[in-house]
Amino acid sequence: MLSSRMEKLHPYVPGEQPRDREYIKLNANENPYPPCDAAVKAALDWAKSSPQSLALYPDPDSLSLRKKIAAMLNSTGGVLSRALISEGKISPCECDDFGFEITPEMIYAGNGSDEVLSFLFYAFFDSNEKLISPEFSYSFYPVYCGFHSIQMEKIPLLQNWEIDIDEMISRAKKFHAPTILANPNAPTSLCLSRAQVRRMLEECPSDRAFVVDEAYVDFGGESCLPLLRDFENLIIVRTFSKSLCAAGMRLGYLAANPKMVNAVLTVKNSVNHFPLDSFAQIFGSAVCENVPYYIECAKKIVASREDFSDFLRERGFFVLPSSTNFLFAKKDGRSGRAMYAALKKEGILVRRFDTAGIEEFLRITVGTKEQMAVLKRAFEKLEF
Ligand SMILES: *Cc1c(COP(=O)(O)O)cnc(C)c1O
């Protein structure tokens, strides 16, 4: 009864979403803050004032949302935690300035970046061919490789958990293969500099797609958006789920050369013509128009992250320097599994992995100041 393709599926296992009791949820890298009131109000007002609009199909290509996303990127420089606000006016930090305009034609918007990724896998990576990716990275990449029959070539990380740029380049050249990486990377939380990614783009095949997943870049990494001017094969994937407090709304996008965007639109129109509902499009546009709120949230999370990472180091933990909204940490002589279980009993959920090599690590999402205070007390009580 099942198709032979089914055998190749190894579905993603997401962070737990338990409903049995109220946990402090620090296990799925969600934002601890709600979206801004103005975005919720814009979507609700729209539905209430013109309910007939809900009877009609949405804009299949989400054009006004794409305009707002482009405007948000141009005004902030694409890294919220570094964007500047002065007298209500937003500007990019000097180091993030693109020096050119991102246009709506360079944006594709989809139903969460997971869907955007699935469509771009179809558009740019061939079945039965290799795809270069770091060994430890977003665990959805191997899932999509299985789904689309792509052979993932996993490049081990260096001893210090950084991505092995030279080996990634040399394998991409050897197999004339496309590349995907998350920057900052998950679950390591480390980020490559833009100059390092530029070197990879200069040396990897220029006629194969090179995908940089920037799900976490708003928390302090270096965005590769400025490289779009120089590299037609570069695709940058981003999401509303982490820094834009909207994981439940399922909004994601990519930024790339318009030719690449058109290829993804073709895939979309061959699978699901209307991936984004009208409500999500209106909501997402209002999020982009209220970016100062999200800049504040990102700055608060960065401050809590630095504070909690100091706390962990003082207690003898090994903590990788994070450019994200989570910390990846372990302690000698402590089992990751046991720490995870003890924290769960205390009503706090963190994430850990059974994957060989990273079993002893905890991946802790940075919550509100109050949540992190509860977490600190739990570490003290449990004597971690
Ligand atoms: C969370 C995450 C995503 C998925 O985001 P959605 O937009 O919620 O689908 C993609 N890539 C990475 C690296 C992530 O951590």
Query: What DSSP designation does 5 have?
Result: G
Total number of residues shown for the chain: 384
Report the range of poorest mean pLDDT among 6-20, 113-127, 153-167: 6-20
* Helices of type H across 210-290: 258-271, 278-289
Q: What single string gives the DSSP state of each residue in 77-98?
A: TT-GGG-EEETTEEE--GGG--
In angstroms, what is the span from residue 116 Cα to ligand 1's centroid?
Answer: 10
CA of 383 to the centre of ligand 1 (A): 33
Positive or negative torsion for Cα 97, 242, 188, 84 = positive
Mean pLDDT rounded to a whole number for the chain: 96
Residue 208 has pLDDT above 80, yes or no: yes
Between the CA of 219 and the centroid of ligand 1 the distance, in Å, is: 14
Residue 88: per-residue pLDDT: 84
Kindly give the distance from the C-alpha atom of residue 48 to the centroid of ligand 1, in angstroms, as a whole number.
Answer: 31
Q: Are 8 and 149 in contact (CB under 8 A)?
A: yes
Over 80: is that where the pLDDT of 19 sits?
no
Of all protein residues, the one whose alpha carbon is nearest to atom 12 of ligand 1 is 215
299 is written with which tokens?
């700055």
Ligand 1 neighbours, Cβ below 6 Å, are: 29, 112-114, 138, 182, 186, 213, 215, 239, 241, 247, 252
> CA 262 to CA 264: how far, in whole Å?
5
- Separation between Cα atoms, residue 81 and residue 220, nearest integer Å: 6
Tokens 């990449």 locate to 141
Pocket test for ligand 1, best of 239, 240, 251 (most atoms within 8 A of CB): 239
Compute the distance from residue 158 Cα to the ligand 1 centre, in Å: 24
Q: Rounded CA gap, 62 and 59, in Å?
A: 5
Q: For 27-41, what is each residue's pLDDT tens digit?
A: 999 999 999 999 999
State yes or no: pLDDT of 11 exceeds 90: no
- Which residue's alpha carbon is nearest to atom 5 within ligand 1? 113
pLDDT at 288: 98
C-beta of residue 105 within 8 angstroms of C-beta of residue 78: no
Q: What is the pLDDT of residues 238-255, one digit of tens each?
A: 999 999 999 999 999 999
Instruction: Provide the pairing of β-strand 348-350 with 24-26.
Output: parallel
